[in-house]
Each structure stands twice: as C-alpha cells, then as structure tokens.
Structure 1
C-alpha cells in the first residue's frame, strides 16, 4: 500500500485529464442525504458544434427538475454552459440494480438525438475524482484530489441498428399516387440527412412480392423474388455540393431504370403486387485504413413497401 501511494502522481493525472475530458459530471448529495443534484458542464476541450445533451438516471432516485443554462434560452438545440438535474431519494428502492458485487447503484448517462450517419462510432472514457468541490466557490488543491486513471474500451464502438417494421412508402409526400422517381425521392428525404456532414456508404435492394393470403389481422403471406441489388454507393460531398438529393440523383435514376426494365420483361401482377425495398448503411471512416476501422454496417431499414397500384406510370 505504501508503495502504491509513493508512485501515485495525483497532480500529473489531474493535468493530463484536463486535456481530454469533454464533460465534467458533478454529483452532490444534500446534508440530509435525501436529494442529489447532478451538474453537467462541457469543457473547453469540446467544440461547441459537437456539444450534446446528456440525460442522467440515478437508480433509487426520482428526477424532479432539469435546468439548462445557456446564453439565450432554455433550449436543447443551443450550446449550454451547464445542465442541472435534481433528484429525490425514493422511499422504496427495492430492486435497484448494482454492478457486480458493488454496493453502489449503477449510473446511466445517455447521449440523446445522435444521428447514426453523422456520428458513426463512439469511444468513451471515464475517470472518477473525489474532494474536487469541498467548499463552494473555492478550488481544491490538486494534491488533495483523489482521481482514478482513465478507463476506456480498447476500440471504438460502431452501432448496428436494424428496423424491420413495415412502412408504406406511399404514405410519404402529398399524395399516394406518384411516379416511382417521386416515391424514391420522398423515401430518400426521410431516410437520409438532407445535408452531407460526413461520408457514408449505402446499398439498396428491391424485391417483388405477391400476397398469397392474408388473415383478419392484416398479416399477409408473401411470396417474393429479387429485382435488384445495387453496389455500395458512397454518399459524400461532390465538389462544393453537400445536398443529399443532388448527390444521389444518379443513383435513384439507375434504380428506377432497372426496375422499369424488370417490370417490362416480367410483367408482374399489378393488383396484389408490391416492391419491398431494403436500405443498408455502412460507415465510411475518413483517413483510416480498412484494417483499423473497416466499413462496418450502421443501420438497416427493411420492409419498405410500395404497392404497384400506387405507382403512377405517367
């Protein structure tokens, strides 16, 4: 134990942490131990454009109030200086989850409203400090602050989100009856960010499906066969244009042409037939080799239905 204290360098650790910390999260317990206030403060290491709203959950406590302090008004869409969460201790904390054998309940920090195509991976780290705020308004001597080393995962994490809920493409836009080109444009508007902030890859498949039978719950038995599968297409800035619809216009044109050719050759049933689209999105890391961070799947949206009767051929 004495050797550990001898080699521990709290001042050096504190200086290093100030260069990498993006958020300070202070948890303050009231004197009667019945309430807690959690204060989130972004540091100067985090660019304002990357500032995110963090939600806090404390098992055994109920959230009472949230105060966001910024330069204009309390709005989650503008940069903030602090967010304060007030919690009250639950009278009955039965069933509060703890981590492993620790008696300390888990804390949960959630980053809200991140677009998976704009933020394609994440790499978090955490360190704990005690004695930082012993006296209000006075800074604690760095030598008296106990701070753990930084703990982080070895690699960045890339999420994979799969949405297989059935969606009716014809519900998008002003009217159900549109040309296939218009249907695809409305679909791209919903699925893809309007402005390209960073590149990503997309692959689209299309099947023709025919309803063999349906039950009273409107669940249908479908027989399907493939129509097309596009190669990966990189959605990225083209010249000075960051407009998604302009960048993907040729891709949509190619899809429409291939489907029209298939329909002309196969002459499928129009009454009960439909097209089933599936979109797969992949990360496209910049300035990184494929061995360090390959093009991993990010998002898959399946079961996008378009009835042939909703396609206007004019």
Structure 2
C-alpha cells in the first residue's frame, strides 16, 4: 500500500506576484503506517426483520435467517472472497420480572476465515457452506444444553475483513445483531 503524504503551502497564490522567500512550505508529513479505516456499528439489528419490506419479524429456519443476513451484507458483488469472523452468544433471562438482568452464554467463535462471497470462486469455502456449518453448530449446542428460552435471543458479532492487505484487516464490525429465538422454527431445542 502506498504511503500518503501531505504538505501545506502558504502565500503561494495571494492574487499577485510574490517573492519566493515569502512563500512558506511545510516539510512532508505522513503516517508511519498505512491507515486502515474500520466502520463500526453497535446499532441493534433484528435479523428476523431483514429481507422484509414492512420491517416486521418473520419466522424462518435458523439457516435461512443467517442466509438472509449474509446475503444482505454481500448483496453487492465487490470481491471474490472476504475474510469473516463471527462470535455467537446465547442471551436469556432467569425470570420474566428480571428482564434487565440477562445471562450471556458464549456459544460459538468462528476465527477469521476466508469465505467465497460469489459463485465464481471454487478455491475457498462458500458462504452457503459457512452459514450451514454455523447454523449446525448453534443447533447442536442448543439441543445438547437445552437453555431457557425466556426472553432469549442469539447475539452475533460479525467482522468483515479486507483481503487487500498482507494480513486481513477489519473493514466492518457489526456488534449488535440479534435473533430472538421465538422467530426460529423449528425451535432450537427440538
């Protein structure tokens, strides 16, 4: 990646001719390392409402909810593959009167993984396969541990990384994606 630099010149164009000693120019200024911007959003997004014109939540299979989410994120075919990192947490309440005191259980961590975001790349794991694997991991966990469904939802943290650098760098971080379990059919524990 090319290094960007900046200089500032004063009195160069003041509307007339000026002697060179009165033109001031700063030395070059640049970053020691390239700048890698990251967009971060903590805005709560209910995955069950994605893909709906009316914004109302809809019941779907878990795999369908995740497919809608990732298809929305990669709707624009801007690259052949991207590196994704996903953390999944199961959140529930102990009693209906204790809704402000929720319990968070770490459920799954997917380390950075290169995923093909279009059908033209056979070299990496497909987005569909990744969604299926993640869905199966969540379902297997829920069937094994049978957690409470009182006020329960799945919380997702998704990081999409740029593959344009030597090491993938975060490009977009979505930290508040939620999927209330009431919109997952069949129920996770069944």
TM-score for both structures, normalised by structure 1? 0.46
Q: Could you say which residue in structure 1 is the equivalent of 2:83?
A: 201
**Whole-Å separation in 2 of the counterparts to 1:214 and 1:195:** 44
Q: Secondary structure at the match of 1:173?
A: coil
**2:90 matches 1:211:** no
Tell me how far 1:233 sits from its aligned partner.
1.3
**Whole-Å separation in 2 of the counterparts to 1:226 and 1:159:** 28
**2:113 matches 1:233:** yes
Q: Deviations over 1:3-58 (max 9, x none)?
A: xxxxxxxxxxxxxxxxxxxxxxxxxxxxxxxxxxxxxxxxxxxxxxxxxxxxxxxx
**Runs of 4+ that moved beyond 6 A:** none
Q: Could you say which residue in structure 1 is the equivalent of 2:33?
A: 155
**Whole-Å separation in 1 of the counterparts to 2:179 and 2:61:** 11
Tell me how far 1:167 sits from its aligned partner.
2.3
**Whole-Å separation in 2 of the counterparts to 1:127 and 1:284:** 30
| Structure 1: 5+ residue stretches without partners | 1-120, 289-293
**Whole-Å separation in 2 of the counterparts to 1:295 and 1:211:** 37
State the superposition RMSD in angstroms. 3.7
**Whole-Å separation in 2 of the counterparts to 1:192 and 1:301:** 14
**Whole-Å separation in 2 of the counterparts to 1:124 and 1:278:** 32
**Whole-Å separation in 2 of the counterparts to 1:247 and 1:132:** 56
**Whole-Å separation in 1 of the counterparts to 2:100 and 2:87:** 21
Q: Tell me if structure 2 keeps the 8 A contact 1:213–1:222.
A: no
Tell me how far 1:182 sits from its aligned partner.
1.9
Q: Secondary structure at the match of 1:158?
A: coil
Q: Tell me if structure 2 keeps the 8 A contact 1:281–1:300.
A: yes
Q: Secondary structure at the match of 2:86?
A: strand
Higher RCO (CA-CA < 8 Å; seq separation 6+) = 2
Q: Could you say which residue in structure 2 is the equivalent of 1:253?
A: 132
Tell me how far 1:152 sits from its aligned partner.
1.0
Q: Could you say which residue in structure 1 is the equivalent of 2:182?
A: 309
- Give matches, 1:4-15, under 5 Å: none
Q: Tell me if structure 1 keeps the 8 A contact 2:99–2:151.
A: no
**2:10 matches 1:127:** no
Q: Could you say which residue in structure 2 is the equivalent of 1:177?
A: 59
Tell me how far 1:295 sits from its aligned partner.
3.6
**Whole-Å separation in 2 of the counterparts to 1:211 and 1:122:** 51
Q: Secondary structure at the match of 1:249?
A: helix
Q: Secondary structure at the match of 2:67?
A: helix
Tell me how far 1:223 sits from its aligned partner.
0.7
| Structure 2: 5+ residue stretches without partners | none
